[in-house]
Structure 1
Amino acid sequence: MNSNNALKVGILGFGGLGQAATRVLSPKQEMLWVAAADLKGYAYCETGLDPDTAIATYHQQGSIGYVEPYGTLSNHSIQELLENATVDGYFLALPNLPNTFMADVARQFIASGWKGVLVDALKRTSAVEQLLQLQDELKAAGITYMTGCGATPGLLTAAAAIAAQSYTEIHSVKITFGVGIANWEAYRATIREDIAHLPGFDVEKARAMTDAEVEAFLDKTNGILTLENMEHADDIMLELAGICSRDRVTVGGIVDTRNPKKPLSTNVKVTGRTFEGKISTHTFTLGDETSMAANVCGPAFGYLKAGISLHRRGIYGLLTATEVMPQFVK
């Protein structure tokens, strides 16, 4: 597929995940990165943006809006990008802080009259529930919205949905993740979202923390975040898919914010009873060398490709990672 036929992709949010997404896209022939927006501006070039220039500009000047000559500074960056850019689909690499933010962004797309595919890597069950309330509006707007399409929820939830097929009854789905990052500041929003899951914290409290306060908190924990029984949308996604009730799904893990080596191997264990009455467990383990960014952005674009093929067949509305197989982006 030459670049003229390549799917044109936009990225909303240009923190650690958004920047990693441009690196994932750069070798792809089937997708072309043409648009991005952050809080202070946006950039659009229909023949493709350069990741190196964009990331360097963002680090030096604090916004993709400074990218010459394709950037525009704006306090309404998403709105203006939608009006000016021709894009097949967007990866919403946005921090879901506050917890209503992604649903608000979806409403913005609906109101704008834009038609196409949206993919997110949302984590919280309550955030996905808000999107479920927008199902009919998304459908009427001609938007195919794929939610929970990162690593967890996403890759691991989809693996659980496949693993469940061996059983007549699912007893438990246990997702355990290990994340290693050399420097928390590369993933500020992600780390704040993780802190929000800890006892004594919530989304608003974590959102209000200054970088210095996050730094001080991580000093107290030696840079380690231990997360248990998280409010993670894997539960509602597996319930919606009819695999098991959400109370049988647990998600937790360890995040090391000072060491790129994973503190433990990310895996999903699906335990159930077969038709012969045997109790067994399937385990799917991710390679330790794959980064959080690889396991989030790769699936997100696979689901984006799948979403575009559905959109072209007139299938609109809200879908989750457990309902559709991602398509590999060459």
Structure 2
Amino acid sequence: MNAEQVTGSTHLPKAMRVGVLGFGGLGQAAAKVLAPKREMLLVAAADKQGYAYAADGLNAQECIATYQSQGSVGYLEPIGTLTNQSVEDLIEKSYPVDGYFLALPNLPNDFIASVARQFIKSGWRGVLVDAIKRTSAVEQLLGMKEELQAAGITYMTGCGATPGLLTAAAALAAQSYAEIHRVEITFGVGIANWEAYRATIREDIAHMPGYSVETARAMTDEEVEVLLDKTNGVLTLENMEHADDVMLELAGIVGRDRVTVGGIVDTRNPKKPISTNVKITGRTFEGKISTHTFTLGDETSMAANVCGPAFGYLKAGVGLHQRGIYGLFTAAEIMPQFVR
């Protein structure tokens, strides 16, 4: 304990320097979430066409306005840089950034893993956090665990809403039971305009019968519009390939075959079509069968339930990294830390 802690000084430690890779709907929401925080400072942002960096912090509203009017934060003068390999170029600059939130679309399915390899190759050391969905995408990162550890990177994977917040809730609720029978995650998402979350909606379409990651990625905006017209803007998703299963299995809680994820996404209405919840059914040590249900408030948006946990896990990752703990961790293994 240092002198300031002993005397109860209110002097705040230096804010964690954070970067956001990907500046679509989720990346812009991430910038808004960070804006009022004292413990984290947004210093870097990147999109397909450029990046921006400012050691004393980026202005979230300026970044969003520039992106929406000109298509890239790279147009921000004088701190922006236009480039078609923005992530690679930003990493190579070796700016002092403690951690990055990868708010990137995972299309193709190995995209996030390829970004992680760029960080390893660059020699950068710090914390990475993602909110990816697919089991197979997380399994690719699991295969890189030793490489990440050797590179001095603390990587937090599956740290959004599901997988993420709901997976962690399941891991906590499981403690009441001697045996877990099933974990059922059901989500409702409401957005006013699908174009604000194009990559996320395409990832959801990839989970629908008759579609794959490749076909969803290849769809034009017009083809997505046609599909949404057929469904009145509603996507119904069942038995999704969601990494909650492998994460809960890795944590020793339940076999992946007993975890199911599904939901309803309304792309034309900000109101959630159904409440988001996770149900954990098991047997207690007394032999009783029971179900815990954790339900998210309908007023919390997808962005709030993804970005909040992501930065909470990023803060936890920074704590691990400062203690020399590197490698790959999931939302079911580590408790997130609240970012003030």
TM-score (norm 1): 0.99
Secondary structure, counterpart of 2:182 in structure 1: strand
Instruction: State how 1:20-39 maps to structure 2 within 5 Å.
Output: 20-39=29-48
Deviation at 1:175, TM superposition (A): 0.2
**SS of equivalent to 1:106:** helix
Pair 1:202-2:218 in alignment: no
User: Aligned to 2:297, which of 270, 280, 287?
Assistant: 287
Q: Which moved more, 1:77-86 or 1:7-16?
A: 77-86
Aligned to 1:56: 65
Matched residue type, 1:37:
A
Residue 65 of structure 1 is matched in structure 2 by: 74
1:145/1:248 Cα in 2 relative to 1: closer, same or farther (>3 Å)? same
- Written as runs of structure 1 = structure 2, the 5 A alignment for 1:139-288 is 139-288=149-298
Counterpart of 1:44 in structure 2 is 53
How much has 1:76 moved relative to structure 2? 2.0
Q: Over residues 70-107 of structure 1, what are the superposed CA-to-partner deviations in whole Å (9 max), with x where a residue is unaligned?
A: 10011221122123221000000000000010000000
How many positions carry a matched residue from both structures? 330
Structure 1 spans left out of the alignment, 5+ residues:
none
Q: Give the distance between the partners of 1:7 and 1:111, measured in 2 at CA.
A: 23
Q: Distance in 1 between matches of 2:145 and 2:285?
A: 35
Does the 8 Å contact 1:3/1:32 carry over to 2?
no
Answer whether contact 1:32 1:48 (CA < 8 A) is retained. Answer: yes
Aligned structure 1 segments of 4 or more residues deviating by more than 6 angstroms: 1-4
User: Do the aligned partners of 1:146 and 1:307 also contact (CA within 8 Å) in 2?
Assistant: yes
Does the 8 A contact of 1:2 with 1:29 survive in 2? Answer: no
Which letter maps to 1:51? A
Shift of 1:176: 0.2
Q: Does 1:77 align with 2:86?
A: yes
- SS of 1:173's partner is strand
Contact 1:118 / 1:144 at 8 angstroms: preserved in 2?
yes
Cα pair 1:2 1:30 within 8 Å, conserved: no
Match of 2:126 among 112, 116, 125: 116
1:12 matches 2:18: no
CA distance 1:278–1:219, shift in 2 (3 Å): same
Aligned partners of 2:225 and 2:11: how far apart in 1? 46
For 1:268, the aligned partner's letter is V
After TM superposition, the score normalised by the length of structure 2 is 0.96
Indicate the percent of aligned positions where both proteins have the same amino acid: 78
- Counterparts of 1:83 and 1:194 in 2: how far apart (Å)? 32
Aligned mates of 2:82, 2:308 — CA distance in 1? 29
Structure 2 CA distance, aligned partners of 1:92 and 1:277?
43
For structure 2, the residue ranges without an aligned partner over 5 or more in a row are: 1-9
1:2 to partner: Cα distance: 7.1
Which residue type is aligned with residue 146 of structure 1? M
Alignment RMSD: 1.0
2:270 is paired with a residue whose SS is coil
Q: Which amino acid aligns with 2:204?
A: D
